[in-house]
Structure 1
């Protein structure tokens, strides 16, 4: 179990390091998954905004529910009890990026429905924003590791390339 982090007054911080790490992992996973979903939608030919929104929303909801079921199952096996209280709140917090990953694409799909841009443009823009997000997280990790600007940019480029490749494989295989 993760060690609780406390502030100088001795009260627990809202999020310990292990929880923050798990939350970020889910955020990165959700980002990569949403790239594959929107690229897959853009490549299907002529989806409409309502169908695209339903697909994005359903994908995010399905991922979130799968994570909750897996977390709850793992908790029951490990602890011999259903997660409640603090443990359940942690599960919900850690898995929340799986739902939040749909917000950007849904906003862009909504803009498309309002005639601001073509739906395919909205979907490719959503993918591009998510690739840029992976790049930014990679750069930030490079900076946090003390690698300097050049290594931070390299880490960002590698993370964006890997995320794009994984999303491409997922989109091509229909997963």
Structure 2
């Protein structure tokens, strides 16, 4: 057997890697999704204590998501230019856009909830707090998924999910206390 080969009776650890996009691309994309979710939780909790109205809340959510995305894209392009001595184009630019796209999609849930409030299906405050709750639940789900991927079983997965959800709640509490 040569160096780097895996004996036939042992499983190749690389076989567990996801197919399709590179695992580091998927990890970077998930990092952006989680970062955007935590940020949006803070934004909607802050808005729930304001008198922004549905139009103002909608505009704030959209501009926050767009601002996050644009800042990430500018930072990625600047870092790429500094390290590689050229602008990212082609495949490199598509990777940046793919990785940063969750920063835009984080506005969908809150925008839908604000739209429901604008249609008088529920109060704006309830819509914003529901959007924050959905964000916390998504953090819990990602934590559980990560815990399961670690292979520690359901208990570890639930613990990881609760820890991630607690971080989301902590962000919301900090935002609520800082704003008032």
TM-score by length of 2: 0.85
Of residues 17, 40, 43, the one that matches 1:34 is 40
- How far apart are residue 147 of structure 1 and its match? 1.2
In structure 1, what is the Cα distance between the partners aligned to 2:168 and 2:147? Answer: 16
Asked if structure 1 preserves the Cα contact closer than 8 Å seen for 2:44 and 2:129, the reply is yes
Of residues 166, 169, 172, the one that matches 1:164 is 169
Structure 2 counterpart SS, 1:143: helix
Q: What is the total number of aligned residue pairs between the two structures? A: 161
In structure 2, what is the Cα distance between the partners aligned to 1:168 and 1:103? Answer: 22
In structure 1, what is the Cα distance between the partners aligned to 2:148 and 2:112? Answer: 31
Asked if structure 2 preserves the Cα contact closer than 8 Å seen for 1:32 and 1:164, the reply is no
- How far apart are residue 164 of structure 1 and its match? 2.2
In structure 2, what is the Cα distance between the partners aligned to 1:122 and 1:79? Answer: 45
In structure 1, what is the Cα distance between the partners aligned to 2:44 and 2:34? Answer: 16
- How far apart are residue 14 of structure 1 and its match? 4.7
Corresponding residue for residue 18 of structure 1 = 24
Q: Cα RMSD over matched residues? A: 1.4
Asked if structure 2 preserves the Cα contact closer than 8 Å seen for 1:61 and 1:99, the reply is yes
- How far apart are residue 149 of structure 1 and its match? 1.2
Structure number with bigger Rg = 2
- How far apart are residue 163 of structure 1 and its match? 2.4
Task: State the Cα deviation string for residues 24-53 of structure 1 (Å, max 9, x = none).
Answer: 000000000000000000012x22110000
* Equivalent runs, 1:83-102 vs 2, <5 Å: 83-102=88-107
Asked if structure 1 preserves the Cα contact closer than 8 Å seen for 2:144 and 2:157, the reply is yes
Structure 2 residues not aligned, in runs of 5+: 1-18
Task: State the Cα deviation string for residues 79-123 of structure 1 (Å, max 9, x = none).
Answer: 000100000000001000000000000001001101111100000
Corresponding residue for residue 6 of structure 1 = none
Structure 1 counterpart SS, 2:101: helix
Structure 1 counterpart SS, 2:52: coil
Which 4+ residue blocks in structure 1 deviate beyond 6 angstroms?
A: none
Corresponding residue for residue 11 of structure 2 = none
Asked if structure 2 preserves the Cα contact closer than 8 Å seen for 1:33 and 1:167, the reply is no
- How far apart are residue 148 of structure 1 and its match? 1.1
* Equivalent runs, 1:1-175 vs 2, <5 Å: 14-44=20-50, 46-170=51-175, 172-173=177-178
